[in-house]
């Protein structure tokens, strides 16, 4: 029996757009919004175990590098909009997550439950010959970062976790009623009222660029509906790098009280907290302050291990 050939079952890849037209429209949006940032960048296509990954190196390549990853069902160009002020002091590595909006492979091949995002991030950073780097992550990508940090703690200098997943979430029923069901309804029966309801809940209602993205994403892209993984204390004991966690009471997904309480329980590294007045998508005014605090944090001295600071609200 041992001489018989093994049967290999190939996993059928799931195309994440309704059709090629929807994908092309998303790529056109990507190109347009990238050009609107008016920043220097270098594009790369990286071969990874999970599929071809499109990545940007943004800003002055001579400045210290940091890495940012867009959130779940998000897109790199709008994520970069949030963190543009950081380009004054840093250059930014910004990969498109495989299987999400962007120019990476349009197939969902990375498993959160199998803790594979850390492996994918490592392969991206290997392309840039990174030994150690600071991270700027938000929402779903905070869980991706924790998958990386637990595996490769020595590669993490510092990290900002903005409205972060991976730690604790809000009540499930309001999320389902106010977000998941409206998303699904809009996908099948798009209306202006339905779009307004979703954007009002998450933030960004007055921003026409975000409205265009939500319209494209909700009508032509098959969203990742599985929640990001949350981590336990015993999984994160190897992390020693300082973390800055910024969260909001008005975030329907990851409210500040739940996130701060759980973070105190699961992290042994230095953790600094800031509470912001925002929904899940912070305003430009709030993001300017977030970026200022992040720059201070990245250039600050290490706090003694275990120190937990709670700073003022803004």
* Cα 274 off chain centre by: 18
Strands of 156-164's sheet, edge to edge? Answer: 41-48, 51-58, 91-95, 65-69, 133-139, 156-164, 243-248, 271-276, 308-310
Residue 310 has a pLDDT of 58
Helix (H, G, I), strand (E, B) or coil at 161: strand
**Which two tokens mark 255?**
């409210």
Residue 7 has a pLDDT of 33
Measured distance CA(84)–CA(149) in Å, rounded: 24
Residue 195 has a pLDDT of 82
Buried b (16+ CB within 10 A) or exposed e, 77-116: bbbbbbbbbbbebbbbbbbbbbbbbbbbbbbbbbebeebb
Closest CA to 311 of 246, 254, 259: 246
Residue 188 has a pLDDT of 79
Closest CA to 136 of 116, 156, 150, 118: 156
Residue 308 has a pLDDT of 57
Residue 12 has a pLDDT of 55
Residue 168 has a pLDDT of 97
Q: Identify the structural domains of the chain with CATH numbers, from first to last.
A: 20-168+230-310 (3.40.50.1820)
User: In whole angstroms, how far apart are CA 159 and each of 27, 51, 187, 195, 269?
Assistant: 29, 26, 35, 33, 11
Residue 9 has a pLDDT of 34
This prediction has a pTM of: 0.91
Residue 5 has a pLDDT of 35
Residue 225 has a pLDDT of 83
| Average pLDDT for runs of 10 along the chain of length 314 | 35 83 98 98 97 98 97 96 98 98 96 93 98 98 98 98 96 79 78 81 80 90 90 96 96 95 96 94 94 94 51 60
Q: What are the backbone angles phi and psi of residue 227, rounded to the nearest 5°?
A: -70, 155
Check residue 181 and give left, alpha or beta (phi > 0: left; psi -120 to 50: alpha): alpha
Residues paired with residue 271 on neighbouring β-strands, in sequence order:
243, 308
Residue 100 CB partners (closer than 8 Å, separation 6+): 16, 70, 72, 73, 74, 75, 224
SS percent in the chain: helix, strand, coil, step 5: 40, 20, 40
């Amino acid at each position: 029996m041992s001489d018989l050939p093994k049967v290999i079952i190939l996993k059928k890849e799931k195309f994440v757009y309704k059709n090629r037209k929807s994908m092309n429209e998303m790529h056109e949006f990507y190109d347009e919004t990238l050009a609107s940032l008016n920043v220097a960048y270098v594009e790369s296509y990286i071969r990874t175990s999970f599929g071809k990954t499109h990545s940007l190196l943004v800003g002055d390549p001579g400045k210290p590098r940091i890495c940012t990853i867009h959130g779940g069902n998000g897109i790199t160009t709008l994520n970069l909009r949030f963190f543009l002020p950081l380009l004054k002091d840093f250059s930014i590595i910004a990969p498109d997550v495989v299987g999400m909006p962007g120019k990476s492979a349009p197939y969902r091949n990375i498993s959160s439950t199998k803790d594979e995002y850390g492996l994918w991030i490592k392969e991206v950073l290997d392309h840039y010959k990174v030994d150690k780097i600071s991270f700027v992550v938000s929402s779903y990508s905070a869980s991706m970062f924790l998958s990386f940090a637990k595996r490769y703690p020595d590669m993490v200098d510092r990290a900002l976790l903005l409205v972060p997943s991976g730690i604790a979430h809000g009540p499930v029923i309001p999320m389902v009623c106010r977000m998941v069901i409206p998303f699904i309804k809009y996908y099948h029966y798009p209306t202006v009222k339905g779009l307004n309801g979703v954007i009002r809940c998450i933030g960004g209602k007055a921003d026409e660029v975000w409205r265009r993205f939500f319209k494209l994403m909700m009508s032509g892209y098959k969203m990742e509906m599985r929640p990001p993984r949350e981590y336990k204390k015993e999984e994160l004991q190897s992390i020693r790098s300082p973390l800055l966690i910024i969260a909001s009471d008005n975030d329907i997904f990851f409210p500040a009280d739940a996130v701060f309480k759980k973070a105190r329980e699961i992290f042994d590294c230095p953790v600094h907290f800031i509470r912001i007045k925002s929904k899940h998508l912070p305003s430009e005014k709030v993001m300017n302050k977030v970026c200022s605090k992040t720059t201070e944090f990245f250039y600050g001295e290490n706090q003694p291990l275990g120190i937990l600071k709670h700073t003022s609200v803004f």
